[in-house]
A and B are shown apart, each in its own frame.
Chain A
Amino acid sequence: MDRIVSRRPLTAATVEPAVLASRVRSTQAIPEVVAASAEGPAGPALADLYFQEGEWRPLPDWGKFFIRLGSLVAEFSAADERLIIGVAVPTRAFAATLVAVGAVACLSGERASAPDSQHHFRALCKLPTGTAVTYRRGNKLLRGLILGHVTLEGGEYLSLMVGSGEKLLLNPILSMKVQLAARQFTQVSAKQHGLEILQHGTFLRATLPEVDPYYFAMQSRFDCLLNGNVGLLRHEITLTPFGAYTGSGKLTEGTLQDLLRVRRFFGADHHFRSEVFSSARAKSDSNSIRDDSPPLVVFDGASAFLKWRHEWEKSAWIAILDRTSMLTLAAADTLNQHYAEQRLSDWQMPNDLSVPPGIEVTGYVVRKT
């Protein structure tokens, strides 16, 4: 059973002033337009990405647009309202994936810097004996079981077992290396090799320089759901190389999985930030995180939108509609109908964000159900 260590808190304290202002406007009597933040993404800055075409080239404008769109929708947060965005594209390729990157990067700013160690230590000490946790040793993640907490020579320590006979006593500062496990277990093997935490650590540091990479990779958050063709998304997320420049000016390579941390594409022990559901499945997945509503659901294609939108009535939606799909007209009709019936106000993109040629966008605010 996966556990979400922290969910996106919908409190005023975490919302940027510009977004708060827009939320206030949207709750006023019949507002016509809700303006998005015009000051760039609220979350940590995402470095420019590069793709390979013989040589490394900057991500085209349409790619940057999708990333920005994802972050704009992710930062829109209101207790009883949500954003609905429809995007018509000439090809579905990378649109949903890059939108998700923007959203996850934006939300990585929440608790991006490590929380107070004393607070973290106290929380761990309250957990029952035998609670499954992970312990970071270098770039490896070891399984551990909490044994309790002890007082020794005036100091307080968290007692942890990470292998046969290997017990650790961790002070509050070292306890920051401990997180709740992504999956429950009751035993730890005698000798652990450990899981690699960051596959391309340099790439993650280069793309999200303001975020602690280990903290980012060591907590599970359901920030974004991608609903579409799993094979295509896997190809884009785990098999397509992207590049980013490090602070020292060196280009480093990784994949979007380093940023998205899709649970489905990891082993079960990894912490995740997003998830991919198949739009082709016959019924709802029996999935432990199904009951949670991520801030954003990205429907990668008309079929996904038509079939599964009702399952995510509490999340913001971005529907990527590929104009070459037979179902796109039906999906657009459905979205237009939804717009006509449910819209509280229109959503307007910031002036500094222009829609690339070939793309059409609609956006509006609806009440959460």
Chain B
Amino acid sequence: MNRVTVAQAETVYRVARHGIGHRLVASHSISDANLRHFALGLREFEYRLGPAAEDQFWIPLLRRLKRHRFEWSAAPLPFNHESFGSADTDHLFDQVIASSEFVYPDHVQGIHKLQGLFSEVAGSQASPMGDAMSQLLRDRPQMSPRALLISASRLLRDLQARLLAAPDLSTLELVTPLALAAEVSYDLLVVIGAPTWFPPHVFSAPRAYETHLLHYDWMRVRIDKNSLFLSSSAAAGPEAQAAQPPDAKAVDRDATTGYLQADDVLPKIDWLAISNNLAPAHEQGDVASIIEARLVLLANGFGAFLDTADHAAVYVIDPEAPDLQRIRRAQTAEIAPGMYVLLRSEGGGDYVASLANHILGERAARLRGIQHEWKELLRQKVRASGISQVSGQLRELGLLRASEGNLRNWMSAGSLRTEDPTDFNTLMRFLGLQEQSNAYWEAMEILDRAHRKAGFHIRRLLIREVLQADFRQLEREGQMDFELADADGGSLTAFRVEQVSPDSSRIAHFRVGRPFEVERDLWQG
């Protein structure tokens, strides 16, 4: 959240006032016969497959094709633009068709037909959405500043490059929904796709005097009413103009007059598949090495798991904050789409621990050895008896804070000791380390101090780097690398968070905080 002036807040209300006598949102329906035939043909094929659509034989291809359908509808780029990756999909078609003759002979004709429909679109240089957008901008030369909002975040970089290269589009600012939450105002905002593809505030708290929603005519879009409350003493914000295809019927599957609900075109993130894909089952079986973590999807097709423990935090960057507040630690629960998280992209492991070792010098090995020893003993107990059994035993010994959550925390590399020395003493007694208890507490205290010092140092280095950074690049591209030469090598990358998993996952602790590339089609459930 930004610190704003009354004048900046007034710009937002000025837009709302404009909505009294004017239409703030206009909907434009775009036609393209090839895309229509493919979009509806895909649904028809899936319908004909019936329960077989859930077969692993078809799932990869269907996912890929749905992604194409979404991305072609969501970005003003030519259909044959390389960023859509159509050549790869052609190969996938060939593989599936070759096998389908044996596995699903009844669907061979259907898949051939679908491939034909796909190729018609994928091979076309047409850009109906781009053309419509250009025409709209040409018709309103006086409206500036102007911005473009799309929901296909994977395509942002390519789209930005194309905008910069096109003389008539170079003044068009590519914005994110988060940017439209700031106290800004545009004369003209072009939104590609359906309102439900974006956070509600894009339409309920508009930042543009004119918002033009561009969508294909085979997609049914709906603009929700703005009212938040069951009973409003006074109504509300600027009315949006809902757009509905005039003759749409819910069961209509006809390729020339049918339509799809916009929500069905939007990729559904298969959180479980992403999680399972990264973390094999055998890792999840080791109760002593797993922790609760939340999966976040990051810009440009990356993902990461973030520790959900109470103490766990990650560095975030706020490009709009005053200089010294641009870097801060945020708990995982705070992380929301649009924020920028800093993750170690090179060097591996926890960068605070790594620098703490550097600070401790020769002492680090001995202290880490102690840390490893008692944690490993605890893990062995848990592996042998189960976590709830160990938790119960510790409570009987008087360690009342030995909940399963805390136990997981103590087993993880991220925690150094219990909060309370008495608890630590009880834990050591349980592990057969009673004689070493005081010495080990001291050792963990030294590590803790080194961690704090490292955290402070890294923050200082980061601030130095961040103050020199061009945040327009970060906002444009969704990611930016930072080199910390003094911090034991390695680099950090700031990623824009695109989505946050609604549920937490259980994952091996060494996977936490490390960005990985998400398989593209897993975004499509």
**Interchain nearest-CB distance for A293 vs B (Å):** 25
Known: A53-B6, A356-B16. A91 touches B232 (CB 8 A): no
**Would you give the 0/1 interface string for A314-334, flagging 1 where the beta carbon is closer than 8 Å to chain B?**
000000011111101100100
User: Please, which residues of chain A bring their CB within 8 A of the CB of B226?
Assistant: 360
The residue in chain A whose Cβ has the minimal distance to the Cβ of B310 is A282
The residue in chain B whose Cβ has the minimal distance to the Cβ of A347 is B233
Complex Cα gap A240–B8 (Å): 12
User: Please, which residues of chain A bring their CB within 8 A of the CB of B336?
Assistant: 326
Interface window among A111-119, A202-210, A229-237: A229-237
The residue in chain A whose Cβ has the minimal distance to the Cβ of B207 is A90
By the criterion CB–CB under 8 Å, are B229 and A360 in contact? yes
User: Please, which residues of chain A bring their CB within 8 A of the CB of B12?
Assistant: 90-91, 93, 358
By the criterion CB–CB under 8 Å, are B9 and A94 in contact? yes
The residue in chain B whose Cβ has the minimal distance to the Cβ of A53 is B7
User: Please, which residues of chain A bring their CB within 8 A of the CB of B3?
Assistant: 231-232, 235
By the criterion CB–CB under 8 Å, are A358 and B233 in contact? no
Interface status of B228 (Cβ within 8 A of chain A): yes
The residue in chain A whose Cβ has the minimal distance to the Cβ of B226 is A360
The residue in chain A whose Cβ has the minimal distance to the Cβ of B228 is A332
Interface window among B75-83, B165-173, B198-206, B420-428: B198-206
Interface status of B46 (Cβ within 8 A of chain A): no
Known: A86-B229, A88-B228, A332-B229. A361 touches B234 (CB 8 A): yes
By the criterion CB–CB under 8 Å, are B231 and A339 in contact? yes
| Residue of A94, A232, A324, A356 contacting most chain B CB atoms (<10 Å) | A324
Known: A361-B233, A362-B230. A323 touches B201 (CB 8 A): yes
Interface status of B31 (Cβ within 8 A of chain A): no
The residue in chain B whose Cβ has the minimal distance to the Cβ of A324 is B181
**Interchain nearest-CB distance for B89 vs A (Å):** 34
Interface window among A21-29, A56-64, A217-225: A56-64
Known: A323-B205, A328-B228, A362-B232. A240 touches B13 (CB 8 A): no
Known: A86-B229, A324-B201. A357 touches B6 (CB 8 A): no
The residue in chain B whose Cβ has the minimal distance to the Cβ of A90 is B205
The residue in chain A whose Cβ has the minimal distance to the Cβ of B338 is A326
By the criterion CB–CB under 8 Å, are B228 and A329 in contact? yes
Complex Cα gap A231–B231 (Å): 33
Interface status of B481 (Cβ within 8 A of chain A): no
By the criterion CB–CB under 8 Å, are B205 and A336 in contact? no
By the criterion CB–CB under 8 Å, are B7 and A360 in contact? no
By the criterion CB–CB under 8 Å, are B230 and A339 in contact? yes
Q: Pick the contact of A349 from B205, B231, B234 — CB < 8 Å?
A: B234
| Residue of B15, B227, B231, B336 contacting most chain A CB atoms (<10 Å) | B231
**Would you give the 0/1 interface string for A45-56, flagging 1 where the beta carbon is closer than 8 Å to chain B?**
000000111000
The residue in chain A whose Cβ has the minimal distance to the Cβ of B20 is A357
By the criterion CB–CB under 8 Å, are B205 and A364 in contact? no
By the criterion CB–CB under 8 Å, are B233 and A349 in contact? yes
Interface status of A258 (Cβ within 8 A of chain B): no
Complex Cα gap A359–B229 (Å): 12
Interface status of A363 (Cβ within 8 A of chain B): yes
User: Please, which residues of chain A bring their CB within 8 A of the CB of B485?
Assistant: none
Interface window among B111-119, B146-154, B235-243, B365-373: B235-243
Q: Pick the contact of B237 from A52, A240, A321, A358 — CB < 8 Å?
A: A358
A-B contact number at CB 8 A: 140
Known: A329-B228, A356-B16, A358-B16. A363 touches B233 (CB 8 A): yes
Interface status of A340 (Cβ within 8 A of chain B): yes
Complex Cα gap A359–B232 (Å): 10
Interface status of B4 (Cβ within 8 A of chain A): yes
User: Please, which residues of chain B bring their CB within 8 A of the CB of A358?
Assistant: 12-13, 15-17, 19, 205, 237-238
Interface status of B442 (Cβ within 8 A of chain A): no
Interface status of A306 (Cβ within 8 A of chain B): no
By the criterion CB–CB under 8 Å, are B229 and A93 in contact? no
Complex Cα gap A33–B233 (Å): 10
Interface status of B5 (Cβ within 8 A of chain A): yes
Q: Which of A265-323 contact B (CB under 8 A)?
A: 321-323
**Would you give the 0/1 interface string for B26-69, flagging 1 where the beta carbon is closer than 8 Å to chain A?**
00000000000000000000000000000000000000000000
Interface status of A346 (Cβ within 8 A of chain B): yes
By the criterion CB–CB under 8 Å, are A324 and B205 in contact? yes
The residue in chain B whose Cβ has the minimal distance to the Cβ of A323 is B205
By the criterion CB–CB under 8 Å, are A361 and B232 in contact? yes
Known: A355-B233, A360-B235. A323 touches B204 (CB 8 A): yes
**Interchain nearest-CB distance for A229 vs B (Å):** 6
By the criterion CB–CB under 8 Å, are A326 and B337 in contact? yes
**Would you give the 0/1 interface string for B272-286, flagging 1 where the beta carbon is closer than 8 Å to chain A?**
000000000000000
Q: Pick the contact of B13 from A322, A354, A356, A363 — CB < 8 Å?
A: A356
The residue in chain A whose Cβ has the minimal distance to the Cβ of B204 is A323
Q: Which of A206-254 contact B (CB under 8 A)?
A: 229, 231-232, 235, 240
**Interchain nearest-CB distance for B321 vs A (Å):** 9
Complex Cα gap A332–B8 (Å): 25
User: Please, which residues of chain B bring their CB within 8 A of the CB of A336?
Assistant: 229-230
**Interchain nearest-CB distance for A360 vs B (Å):** 4
Interface status of A159 (Cβ within 8 A of chain B): no
By the criterion CB–CB under 8 Å, are A323 and B200 in contact? yes
By the criterion CB–CB under 8 Å, are B234 and A91 in contact? no
Interface status of A4 (Cβ within 8 A of chain B): no
The residue in chain B whose Cβ has the minimal distance to the Cβ of A93 is B9
Known: A88-B229, A232-B1. A355 touches B234 (CB 8 A): yes
Complex Cα gap A339–B228 (Å): 13
By the criterion CB–CB under 8 Å, are B232 and A360 in contact? yes
Q: Pick the contact of B4 from A93, A340, A346, A356 — CB < 8 Å?
A: A93
A residues near B, CB below 8 A? Answer: 51-53, 59-60, 62-63, 86, 88-94, 229, 231-232, 235, 240, 321-326, 328-329, 332, 335-336, 339-340, 346-349, 354-364
28 contacts between A and B (CB under 8 A): A52-B7, A60-B6, A60-B10, A86-B228, A88-B236, A90-B12, A91-B183, A91-B205, A240-B5, A321-B228, A323-B204, A323-B228, A325-B181, A328-B228, A332-B228, A332-B229, A339-B230, A340-B230, A347-B233, A348-B233, A355-B233, A357-B17, A358-B12, A358-B15, A360-B227, A361-B229, A361-B232, A363-B233
Can you list the 8 inter-chain pairs with the closest CB atoms, starting with the nearest? A358-B16, A355-B234, A324-B181, A90-B205, A362-B229, A93-B9, A51-B6, A53-B7
Additional pairs, 8, CB under 8 Å, beyond known A53-B6, A63-B6, A339-B230: A51-B6, A60-B10, A90-B15, A91-B205, A321-B228, A322-B205, A358-B238, A361-B229
